[in-house]
Structure 1
């Protein structure tokens, strides 16, 4: 069993750290809001640290699951950051959805201290994190990946090395491109069905057994038809991710006309006060 620091106890990190502790690892958590860390310790045992640096002391691995590039830089390279407390041989595993550039930047800084690095963003949402059924796309060295594979399996159903550092984040961008288009298509389809006087649930029961089937259709159609949007990844977070995607596309020359359009549709949802609604709320802007 390993000694593990876990930094970031949001809706994803909180259950992920819990799976590690239940698997028998010795987990020390850090969260910017200290009361959340105390709550986690009360529920799972383990221990809490006052700074990211202290969460990294004497650890084998440190897992990171924070908000964005700036948050990531702060907890890794800040005055009380992970690298301040890191020992030679430590491995950082970043589960944040961030840019490929920041992954490469932090990997290079970590390497100067003899610290390994994997960028390992996740997909599956809060439900996947709670059930230990996340998909993890990883960038980094194969030997380091093999070392961490059994640890990450504590909360993963699918775990794949995609290439060198940055490849995990690039793969997550592909994931978000697919989701954006799928959810917009589903929103339009369900709104069309309702305007046509059809029973939306009956429609989905039929078409979900054919080529139109998707995870979004199976898991979100009922709440979309009901106008309920409290069941998943928030619009604010999706726009953060799509900003990373669109910036990367500008650099690599990929054309993303649908993704750019859906990003603007999410901006409309934010203007409606739906920044914390889940991503299926695209249907709400069609009903204004």
Structure 2
């Protein structure tokens, strides 16, 4: 069955770009009401329809895309009083673009399939800028036939799509990817803080690091904080980084595998959150470390 009607729950920084590109490709789009009216109202102005709960969205959709914070929000949307599980019918597909815990993903998939539907994990990489441009990176987990059915919709907002394996494997891959990204940011924040306290010229630091083996995308983004007081190149909240690292260390503990660096980076995000930086973007780990170490900006 060809997907013609798409539902979107979670119209935030990333979800707005996803919805815009789905509309641009001519799909019927239904979004769920959200307290942040700006992105929702913009999609409605572009032709989207709005409904007040997840059941109502599902009833008008062949595919429902979730783009929320994490596992508690996903489970609430599935199992809550007006949850999607109450609206699952033969052939309905739910694709979870959130960063979530793999074991929860697998359990939800079993429950959705028992009612005739499909639940697949399709977490994202990159930023709101790429979401708006239709150039997100996606990992997919689930049966190949189900992924093939929704692939035309995914192609609306992603230019890199990797199939990770069965349900849950994409969320595993996402957690590993985010561990690398966040730890790169933590290392870069510490290096920049040390350089600042030592009086190293920041332009010289940028030039030498980015020209050699120490270069990383995250360093290239974070160095804009001391140079230009600009954190816009990595629009990812520290509180979300804290959550993702905890999901990652939960996974490593269950395997079990040691994860010394992840625990250290997680504690850095906990400290930052406790200091009031939870809603700030990840490059502001530099401000946290500078404050702790008595470095003047």
Coarse TM-score class (shorter-chain normalised): over 0.9
Is the Cα contact below 8 Å between 1:5 and 1:55 reproduced in 2? yes
Aligned to 2:170: 168
1:136 maps to which residue? 138
- Larger deviation, residues 73-82 vs 223-232: 223-232
Q: 1:61 aligns with which of 60, 63, 67?
A: 63
Q: 1:224 to 1:114 in 2, by over 3 A?
A: farther
**Higher mean displacement: 79-88 or 154-163:** 79-88
> Residues 224, 171 of structure 1: CA spacing in aligned structure 2 closer, same or farther, 3 A cutoff?
farther
The reply to whether residue 196 of structure 1 matches residue 203 of structure 2 is: no
Instruction: Label 1:37 to 1:270 Cα distance change in 2 as closer, same or farther (>3 A).
Output: closer
Of residues 253, 269, 274, the one that matches 2:277 is 274
TM-score by length of 2: 0.90
Match 1:105 to one of 98, 104, 107: 107
Inter-partner Cα distance in structure 2 for 1:115 and 1:83: 9
Superposition RMSD in Å: 1.9
Partner residue, 1:246 = 249
The 5-angstrom pairing of residues 23-34 of structure 1 reads 23-33=25-35
What residue ranges of structure 2 are gaps of 5+ in the alignment?
A: 292-297
Find 2:118's aligned residue among 113, 116, 119. Answer: 116
Aligned counterparts of 1:287 and 1:244: Cα–Cα separation in 2: 27
1:181–1:262 contact (8 Å) kept in structure 2:
yes
Question: How far has the Cα of 1:226 moved from its partner?
Answer: 4.4
Give me the whole-angstrom Cα distance separating, in 2, the residues matched to 1:267 and 1:83.
Answer: 34
Deviations 1:25-48 (A, max 9, x none): 110001343845751344321211
Between the aligned partners of 2:9 and 2:40, the Cα distance in structure 1 is 13
Cα deviation, residue 202, structure 1: 3.1
CA 225–272 in structure 1, closer or farther in 2 if over 3 Å, else same = farther
Deviation at 1:74, TM superposition (A): 1.7
Task: Count matched residues.
Answer: 288
CA distance in 2, matches of 1:130, 1:34: 17
Q: In structure 2, the residue corresponding to 1:286 is in which secondary structure?
A: helix
| Corresponding residue for residue 21 of structure 2 | 19
TM-score between both structures, scaled by the size of structure 1: 0.93
Which stretches in structure 1 are left out of the alignment for 5+ residues?
Answer: none
Match of 2:266 among 257, 263, 268: 263
Which aligned pairs between 1:40-119 and structure 2 lie closer than 5 A?
A: 40-119=42-121
Task: State the alpha-carbon separation in 2 of the partners of residues 227 and 41 from structure 1.
Answer: 32
Distance 2:217 2:36 in 1: 35
Partner of 2:294: none
Q: Structure 2 CA distance, aligned partners of 1:208 and 1:41?
A: 39
Q: Distance in 2 between matches of 1:5 and 1:34?
A: 18
Conservation of the 8 A alpha-carbon contact between 1:227 and 1:284:
no
- Structure 2 CA distance, aligned partners of 1:34 and 1:276? 15
